[in-house]
A and B are shown apart, each in its own frame.
Chain A
Amino acid sequence: MACAIARALRDGERVGVGVNSPVPAAAVLLAKRTHAPSLRFRLPGVEGAEPFLGSKEFFDFAQRGRLDVFFLSGVQIDAGGRINLHVLGDYHRPERRFPGAFGSAVLYPIVPRVILFRAEHSPRVFVPRVHFVSAAGTPDRVVTSLAVLGFDRGAGRLVLDSYHPGQSVESVRAATGFDLPARPMVRETSPPSPEQLRVLRDEVYPMLAGVYPAFVAAMLGAGPASSPR
């Protein structure tokens, strides 16, 4: 996922990373160390991040329209790209309560490129219609552990751009709770390059150990090819 997100970032862009976003954080640092050395990013607690005064100044920067890319996720994500970070069931009598909007309700409609990320790609996450619209906007793409979804602006709905290695159009559709048309050019997602994996392991994850210690421990501990340094 981090490699797929990193590839979506272009050199020179101004990118913001919000709370609880370890995968986008890794993607930003990876992009900066590979194809996008002039990337500017907001990522509190990480070396090299833009030293904004509080989150207020960062949100002002975004409100002015100067932020190019931001990352959002959702407990539910629907066919129209809307996200739900609040409740399952009725808002006033929820079956389950989740954290809340954070910055999404303002950032989603105004940041030019919003990349949605959600590791779990299942019918309970990708629903026809969210129970509560925490934020609505036009997503640049949605990156999951199975696929990359794009957004058909004409139809106003998510479509399948690429399926990750080991997946197929059919398997991704089966994991999605709404009808997911495939783009005519649908293809397999480019797998992570050896260089991307090396930079993640040797440079990026150590930089995130202070902010996301559990995530970094899991990443460095997982897989036969990687080991803690």
Chain B
Amino acid sequence: MAVQPVTASEAVAAIPDGARVALGRPAALFLVEELIRQGRSGLHLVGVPTGGRAVELLIAAGCAESLECSGVDLGEEGLAPVFGRAVESGTLRMVDSTCPAMLMALQAGASGVSFAPVPGLLGSDLLRVRADFRVIDDPFRPGERVVLVPAIAPEFALLHGLRADQDGNVVIGTEYDDRLVAQAARHVVYSVEEVRDDGTRTLAAGEQVVPAAYVDALVIVPH
């Protein structure tokens, strides 16, 4: 069945103020800009597993109340200045995590369980500042301690794919973790650069297909 793409404006209008919104990589900048244009506020952002330019834009525009991720930077450009100032001035609440904990928590969200055990982490002050991380005696490895982190199942995800087919299956790269975001989020908005009949018939190396079943809204954006 042919999927009916919607406009960015329509897709983003479904996201209320104060929603928990996950952002993937590469960032769906067209959708993020629409969120800013619509003046959304109080958002709880989830950067998977890190944050970059999209996070900077949303903080600068006053859309974000909190951010959960394992790090924010601008690659070779260095530190993310808006993020840094927002945390220093107390206008952004940072929920610090670490990449494997973010990904295990998303896997828990994707699998419908409420938490995930994560190895390592012991000795890190993250355990001091994350009151929701628990350390327990590992029930299956006597004498060992293990950290539990709560599942992440964001209400919304804004993701960007390469292309879609007429059924709404989306082709994405294999380098990042957006598939897991699509699995864990409750409402997924995907932007793609084109929709074509044979969009999923031939995959290049480094491409994979996200089933249309995960996709709640499909937006075609300019190249």
Looking at the complex, which of B12-20, B36-44, B170-178 is the stretch in contact with chain A?
A: B170-178
A56 touches B98 (CB 8 A): no
We find that the number of chain A residues with CB closer than 8 angstroms to chain B is 46
Proximity bits, B195-211, A CB within 8 Å = 1, else 0 = 00000000001101000
Q: Is A227 an interface residue (CB 8 A)?
A: no
B206 touches A102 (CB 8 A): no
A22 to B76, CA, bound (A): 9
- Given A94-B88, A98-B79, A99-B71, A56–B107 Cβ distance below 8 Å? yes
A54 touches B98 (CB 8 A): no
We find that the number of chain B residues with CB closer than 8 angstroms to chain A is 45
How far does the Cβ of A3 sit from chain B's closest Cβ, in whole Å? 22
Proximity bits, B154-185, A CB within 8 Å = 1, else 0 = 00000000000000000000111111100000
B120 touches A86 (CB 8 A): no
Q: Is B125 an interface residue (CB 8 A)?
A: yes
B88 touches A97 (CB 8 A): yes
- Given A53-B208, A99-B72, A63–B79 Cβ distance below 8 Å? no
With a cutoff of 8 Å between Cβ atoms, the chain A residues found around residue B122 in the complex are: 109, 136
Q: Which of A54, A63, A215 gathers the greatest number of chain B CB atoms within 10 Å?
A: A54
How far does the Cβ of A80 sit from chain B's closest Cβ, in whole Å? 10
A105 touches B76 (CB 8 A): no
A107 to B97, CA, bound (A): 13
Q: Is A190 an interface residue (CB 8 A)?
A: no
Q: Is B222 an interface residue (CB 8 A)?
A: no
A137 touches B180 (CB 8 A): no
How far does the Cβ of B48 sit from chain A's closest Cβ, in whole Å? 9
Q: Give the contacting residue for B71; candidates A101, A107, A215; CB below 8 A.
A: A101
With a cutoff of 8 Å between Cβ atoms, the chain B residues found around residue A98 in the complex are: 79, 84
How far does the Cβ of A73 sit from chain B's closest Cβ, in whole Å? 12
Looking at the complex, which of A30-38, A127-135, A181-189 is the stretch in contact with chain B?
A: A127-135
A212 to B76, CA, bound (A): 7
Q: Is A207 an interface residue (CB 8 A)?
A: no
Q: Is A93 an interface residue (CB 8 A)?
A: yes
With a cutoff of 8 Å between Cβ atoms, the chain A residues found around residue B107 in the complex are: 56
Q: Is B4 an interface residue (CB 8 A)?
A: no
Q: Is B135 an interface residue (CB 8 A)?
A: no
Q: Give the contacting residue for A101; candidates B73, B87, B98, B175; CB below 8 A.
A: B98
A101 to B50, CA, bound (A): 10
Nearest residue in B to A98 (C-beta to C-beta)? B79
With a cutoff of 8 Å between Cβ atoms, the chain A residues found around residue B177 in the complex are: 54-56
B100 touches A134 (CB 8 A): no
A107 to B123, CA, bound (A): 12
Q: Is A100 an interface residue (CB 8 A)?
A: yes
B123 touches A93 (CB 8 A): no
A103 touches B98 (CB 8 A): yes
A135 touches B123 (CB 8 A): yes
A55 to B126, CA, bound (A): 21
A66 to B79, CA, bound (A): 31
B129 touches A20 (CB 8 A): no
Contacts A54-B177, A99-B73 aside, 20 further interface pairs with beta carbons under 8 A come to A53-B208, A54-B174, A54-B179, A54-B180, A56-B107, A59-B99, A85-B71, A86-B125, A97-B87, A99-B79, A100-B50, A100-B69, A101-B71, A102-B50, A102-B70, A105-B101, A105-B120, A109-B123, A134-B124, A135-B123
A-B CB contact pairs (8 Å), 25 listed: A19-B75, A20-B75, A20-B76, A22-B76, A51-B205, A53-B179, A54-B174, A55-B49, A59-B100, A62-B100, A63-B120, A97-B84, A99-B73, A100-B50, A101-B97, A101-B99, A101-B124, A104-B98, A105-B124, A105-B126, A106-B99, A106-B120, A133-B124, A134-B126, A136-B122
Instruction: Mark B residues whose CB is within 8 Å of A.
Output: 49-50, 69-73, 75-76, 79-80, 83-84, 87-88, 90, 94, 96-101, 103, 107, 118-126, 129, 174-180, 205-206, 208
